[in-house]
Amino acid sequence: MPNALIKLKALYASFSPAQKRLADYILEKNGEEVPFLSVRELARAVGVSVASISRFARVMGFESLKEFKTQLGKDSLSAVKSMYRVIGPEDTDRDIIEKVFAGNIRSLEETLRILDRDELVRAAGMMAKAARVVFFGVGSSGNIAHDAALRFSQLDIQAEAYSDSYQMLNQALRMKKGEVALGISTSGRSAITVETLQLASEGGAATIGISNCMKSPLHKASHVFFCTSFPESRVTVAALSPLVAQVSLIDAIYLLAARQKKTALGSAERMNAHTERVLRLPAK
């Protein structure tokens, strides 16, 4: 079973107001006190009903609060604090630098813990066999999409990327069976990215989603879905998001696809050699 706090953060955006208060309490206390509280003590501390806590445990995927608390106790959550709450006005410039890097490292570690390896291999197989692969994303996710398309094009795959709303809709409407649409959205609620995957799916294309929110519209629109993690349950600043984890997922899919598409490896090597000659002067 995945780390309870990692799962809590992945589901946070889909919680009701009462569930978010309970989640905030667990995150604030770092999960260490909760296993030792009765359901009534927890309800009083948070200011919610006993029934709300029972529903919260079920939403988290546990049969009972006891099972949730047991898992929470096993997870040893002391290292999973939010970097936003840790960073304070008293921090030095060096402290902030260290904490930002620690947050990205934590993001990779947590994403790996909840990653379904079999689904990753499946996604790579879908893309290796696809007649066309199209990456969709806006903002920083769009930048990742364009980089991914460039990389996959080296495998003799017709790979494209779109981050403009009109182009995204136009291309999604053209997608058909045998093609793959991959959408990236940190929140999982980017309306245009969700819409493009839905349209691509209606046309017969397979869809893959990458988001930081487990229960999200993007997840519903995806045949294969991957959830990233970042040491913050309420990401409000786009620049501080699980970009490193998103890129790592795409890196893994790319290498797995390259391994399956052996005929493309030779052309990729030639492209690398040509790029080396064009972009780098010989050493003297």
Q: Which residues contact 198 (CB under 8 A, 6 or more apart)?
A: 221
pLDDT at 6: 80
User: What is the rounded CA–CA span in Å between residue 252 and residue 247?
Assistant: 9
Cβ(184)–Cβ(136) under 8 Å? Answer: yes
Judge contact between 180 and 210, C-beta under 8 A: no
Q: Which domains does the chain show, CATH number per domain? A: 4-81 (1.10.10.10), 114-276 (3.40.50.10490)
pLDDT by 10s per residue, the chain, length 284 = 557 778 888 888 888 999 999 988 887 765 667 887 888 888 888 899 988 888 998 888 888 888 888 887 766 444 444 444 456 678 788 888 887 888 888 889 889 988 999 999 999 999 999 999 999 999 989 999 999 999 999 888 999 999 999 999 999 999 999 999 999 998 899 999 999 999 999 999 999 999 988 888 999 999 999 999 876 544 444 445 688 999 999 999 999 998 888 655 555 565 566 556 555 656 65
Burial of 229 (0-12, 13-18, 19+ CB in 10 A): buried
Task: Give yes or no for a contact between 208 and 222, defined as CB atoms under 8 angstroms apart.
Answer: yes
- Name the CA dihedral angle for 154, 159, 163, 169, rounded to a multiple of 10 degrees: 180
The pTM score is 0.73
How far apart (Å, rounded) are the C-alpha atoms in residues 152 and 127?
A: 9
